[in-house]
Structure 1
Amino acid sequence: MNKKILFLMILACTLIFGCSSGGSSKPVSVVSGPTVTSIFPASGGPGTLVTISGSNFGLVQSTSIVSYAGVTVVPITWSDNQISLKVPDSAPNNGNFVVVVNGVYSNASMVFNLSNPSISSISPSPAAIGSEVTISGQYFGSFNTGCYVTFNSSTAAIKNWNNNSITCTVPDFSSSNSGAVSVVVWLDASRYSNSYSFNLAAPTINNVSPSIDNIGARVIITGQAFGQNQGTITVGGYTAQIVSWLDTRVEFRVPQVNSAGWKTLTLTAGGRQVNNSFTVAAPEITSPQSSFTDVGNGDVVSISGNHFGSSDDQVTKSLQLIDESNKYYTPIITSWSDTGITFTWPVPDKLWASQLVYINISVGGLTNQSYSVTAD
């Protein structure tokens, strides 16, 4: 009986405590995932250097990753308890940095507050509408379809965009005066920069050359702040044809006006106007002074003067002769320049005496003052 009790006791001991010769005990290994304990700084914009502190990141990065607001970020340095990186230019909004090691995600409790963009300067300033300017600052991020720049309420055309600099064209907008304009950089409807005061230049005329000429003639205006976008020129209220338009030089043709004389020349650029004076000239005959000697029908004669209109002038020109009986003659033109006309005399000879002949030159509908010669 005692032997049976002893046997049962030994068997129970073996089953409970693993006292058999083949038994052994093994410790259970528990693997901990990555943990983020702090981020520094806790706010900033694209390009900001951030340090993530914590534990179990791994000694080397290997296949581990870091993401910010769902965007994967390339780290600069990596150790088991610290990671450094820059906030990506494409960072969407406020978010969390998450470390993923071997498929295990860290906590996402550390929020990084994304700062709004900030404008520090605009160059050149002042500048005219249509001019290219550079906006400098920080946290502009990378360009996407939601990004834009406004001058007052008008959107600028973007030439180049990076985190610290934006190149754009000053837009055209309705305004009658030069002065301060509010510039804002927008990343989206909820994130935008400070309002930066930008000086918009008004056009200035330095010189008009020539200051007097006939209809259809080319005239050059020089000055500043005309802008790169073509504006308008009026002379006496009549719109001129623009030949070329640059920020400091504009070329136009004298428009068709209804009378010769002094006119107000108005240059309009981006809603801003500047005035100057201009004289529209009628043709003027200076010679012959009083008579043609020994001239007869079919003879080639010449007259001299000013503002007859050159071959380059886009204008209708004509020459007529009127005899004493008020009969009109249209001569055959041999040559025509701004200062001289050569033609074949069409008026029949008078048998017994000289006769008075009126010369009528028309350039763009403007005619010379009454001018007559005696044909002997």
Structure 2
Amino acid sequence: MKKFGLLTIIAASLTVWGSAWGAFAINPDSGPIGVTVTITGEGFGKFVSARNNAVLFGKNKARGLVEQWENDRIVVRVPRKAVTGPVVVKSGTKTKTVGTFTVEVPTVKEVSPKEAAPGTTVQIIGRNFGPSMGMKDPLMPFGVSEVQINGVAAEVVQWRDTRIEVKVPSNATTGPLVVRVASMDPLPDGSCCAPVEYSTSAPVAFAVMTPITLEPTEGPVGSPVVISGRGFGQRKPGEDAVVFNGIPAPILQWTNTQIRVMFPLNGASGPVTLKRGNESRVVGEFRLTPHKVIGFNPDTAPVGALVTISGENFGVFYEGGPNQVLFGGVPGRVFQWSDRVIDVWVPISAKSGPLVVRRGAGTVKPDGTCCAERGFAAVEAGVFTLAVPTVTSISPGTAEIGSLISITGSGFGEFIKSDERTQDNLSREGHQNQFTQFGVNIARTAVLFPANKEFVKASHVAGYVESWTDTEIKVRVPQVAVPGTVLITRGSWDLLPDGNCCKDKEWIQTKAGNFTPTGLDKVTSDYLKNIRDLGSEQ
């Protein structure tokens, strides 16, 4: 369409029609239906009525909708039934040819992209789309041009005569894409407005892709990433893959609706591409965010202490990685792992040295699974010092059963209340009066007194802890304590050689010193009888 083309000058002889007719011009002189055309000249006279005054297009004399009529200027819409040919102005019984108009049809030259998911913006390049799509007015039946994808109207983002941008509708399916330019025609009597009709472009094939989501879209190395959608089918080893900026990722799971992969070792930020045989599709972007340690507390602690590490981008705890915290090179058991905080127990074999947070990842095998090679992204948090419990005194050295005694020193750490049973049958054994060896299961932190084996079936018994700090423990003497060496114990674990949890719990023992309880005569025969009776119950 020549939107601002050369004016078609029609030399007309002067004729008496109320006033003299002058030279005429039509602008534009070509375009699609519905386009606004301005006719200039002289002697058009006054507008009397829609029936009396008209502009007719082509040999079939299709009547256009007149929007403005003045003596020297007429504005009119090109009607749906217009064909290329002369344009005639009619006023009453008199007519005058004022030029010619070429009717164009909307033509699509290019659609980019040719396939897209719902919500994607698509650009349509061509001509004769009209200067605008029109205006929706609930009070007036104006025609509005549109783009349809397999019969579903798309949301228009921008409309120009040679370029249209639309968003793929959520309910669209694969099929033809067409541009439909709306008419704005008068009724037979010349008034507004006839039902809307369309001039439609030739259809262009367009594929609506299945919507696919990527979650998460950022994270540290080794992060599990999930691609959700439908129609993934059954994975073909060695052919189907997920690629992060050119680096294939180990596939952890592949179903028809979900794919789960590990962000690969040596991966980088960039597009994530789903490959199925010879077909590829970018399903999103992933940003690598290396983990960072801000600090940890405490920086000095004994075995079994809980150390809290704060930072950023620790990601999701993923044992398959694995994710680890090393104490002097020895991995500890993770209690809690979140994106900004890690809580980890100091392992039984911990050493003083660098505290390192590391995330594991791997490279893909030829069949697409994990892992041809494993490695880590490691960040050093600082120096951790393993505290060794040291006792300076136990006071008093002799006291009655039930009395409160104090043990002073350093490196006792915090009191851990949990006892995490390592044998389900322990309580049952106790109720069956079976002897329990020291070390099978005791509290994570405890003060143990030698026990009278005739009273209880255990080598030691724990005293009730009133308070526990790093430098002082206050504990009550249990009823069945006997003279001997008091022990301070702390329990913890080591991980298995493959990095998974865990070996059996172990304890370190620190001798607090010798202690002699008094008042054993207060343990009455009735108490002894009750102990035996309880122990004999099944």
TM-score if structure 2 supplies the norm length? Answer: 0.40
What's the secondary structure of 1:205's corresponding residue? strand
8 Å contact from structure 1 (residues 33, 105) kept in 2: no
CA apart distance, 1:39: 4.0
8 Å contact from structure 1 (residues 309, 337) kept in 2: yes
Structure 2 residue 254 is the aligned partner of structure 1 residue 254 = no
**Unpaired stretches in structure 1, ≥5 consecutive residues:** 1-26, 117-124, 132-142, 156-170, 349-356
Q: Which amino acid aligns with 1:224?
A: E
- Matching residue within 436, 459, 473 for 1:340: 473
What's the secondary structure of 1:180's corresponding residue? coil
8 Å contact from structure 1 (residues 128, 225) kept in 2: yes
Paired position in structure 2 for 1:359: 486
Give me the whole-angstrom Cα distance separating, in 2, the residues matched to 1:227 and 1:95.
Answer: 44
- Matching residue within 334, 351, 363 for 1:241: 334
Cα RMSD over matched residues?
5.6
Paired position in structure 2 for 1:283: 389
Paired position in structure 1 for 2:152: 71
Structure 2 residue 447 is the aligned partner of structure 1 residue 319 = yes
TM-score if structure 1 supplies the norm length? Answer: 0.53
8 Å contact from structure 2 (residues 357, 379) kept in 1: yes
Structure 2 residue 314 is the aligned partner of structure 1 residue 226 = yes
Give 1:135-150 correspondences, 5 Å limit.
none
Q: Which amino acid aligns with 1:86?
A: E
Query: For the structure 1 residues 88 and 187, does the alpha-carbon distance in structure 2 shift closer, same or farther, using more than 3 Å as the test?
Result: farther
CA apart distance, 1:285: 1.6
Percent of pairs with identical residues: 19
CA apart distance, 1:221: 0.9
8 Å contact from structure 2 (residues 357, 378) kept in 1: yes
8 Å contact from structure 1 (residues 99, 106) kept in 2: yes
CA apart distance, 1:267: 3.2
What's the secondary structure of 2:262's corresponding residue? coil
- Matching residue within 401, 406, 419 for 1:302: 406
Give me the whole-angstrom Cα distance separating, in 1, the residues matched to 2:167 and 2:308.
Answer: 51
Paired position in structure 2 for 1:128: 220
Give me the whole-angstrom Cα distance separating, in 2, the residues matched to 1:247 and 1:76.
Answer: 39
What's the secondary structure of 1:87's corresponding residue? strand
Give 1:82-101 correspondences, 5 Å limit.
85-90=164-169, 95-99=176-180
Query: For the structure 1 residues 172 and 310, does the alpha-carbon distance in structure 2 shift closer, same or farther, using more than 3 Å as the test?
Result: farther
Give 1:4-23 correspondences, 5 Å limit.
none
8 Å contact from structure 2 (residues 310, 341) kept in 1: yes
Q: Which amino acid aligns with 1:367?
A: I
CA apart distance, 1:251: 1.9
- Matching residue within 513, 519, 531 for 1:372: 513
Paired position in structure 1 for 2:128: 53
8 Å contact from structure 1 (residues 216, 253) kept in 2: yes
Give me the whole-angstrom Cα distance separating, in 1, the residues matched to 2:295 and 2:129.
Answer: 71
CA apart distance, 1:343: 2.5
Paired position in structure 1 for 2:425: none
8 Å contact from structure 2 (residues 177, 204) kept in 1: yes
Structure 2 residue 299 is the aligned partner of structure 1 residue 211 = yes
CA apart distance, 1:284: 2.7
8 Å contact from structure 1 (residues 40, 51) kept in 2: yes
CA apart distance, 1:310: 0.9
CA apart distance, 1:363: 1.4
Give me the whole-angstrom Cα distance separating, in 2, the residues matched to 1:320 and 1:83.
Answer: 88
Deviations 1:263-296 (A, max 9, x none): 77553436344265545545332324xx746x34
8 Å contact from structure 2 (residues 447, 462) kept in 1: yes
Give me the whole-angstrom Cα distance separating, in 2, the residues matched to 1:98 and 1:36.
Answer: 13
Paired position in structure 1 for 2:110: 42
Give me the whole-angstrom Cα distance separating, in 1, the residues matched to 2:302 and 2:310.
Answer: 20
Paired position in structure 2 for 1:121: none
Deviations 1:326-368 (A, max 9, x none): xx764643524143132328456xxxxxxxx533222114334
Deviations 1:33-57 (A, max 9, x none): 89764547734452537675179xx
Paired position in structure 1 for 2:357: 267
Query: For the structure 1 residues 250 and 33, does the alpha-carbon distance in structure 2 shift closer, same or farther, using more than 3 Å as the test?
Result: farther
8 Å contact from structure 2 (residues 157, 167) kept in 1: no
Shifted more, 101-110 versus 265-274: the winner is 101-110
8 Å contact from structure 1 (residues 130, 228) kept in 2: no
**Unpaired stretches in structure 2, ≥5 consecutive residues:** 1-58, 63-79, 84-102, 114-120, 135-140, 183-194, 210-216, 233-241, 251-259, 362-375, 420-442, 452-458, 492-505, 518-538
Give me the whole-angstrom Cα distance separating, in 1, the residues matched to 2:282 and 2:350.
Answer: 54
Query: For the structure 1 residues 130 and 146, does the alpha-carbon distance in structure 2 shift closer, same or farther, using more than 3 Å as the test?
Result: farther
What's the secondary structure of 2:486's corresponding residue? strand
Deviations 1:239-260 (A, max 9, x none): 51323x33332123334x2x46
Q: Which amino acid aligns with 1:335?
A: E
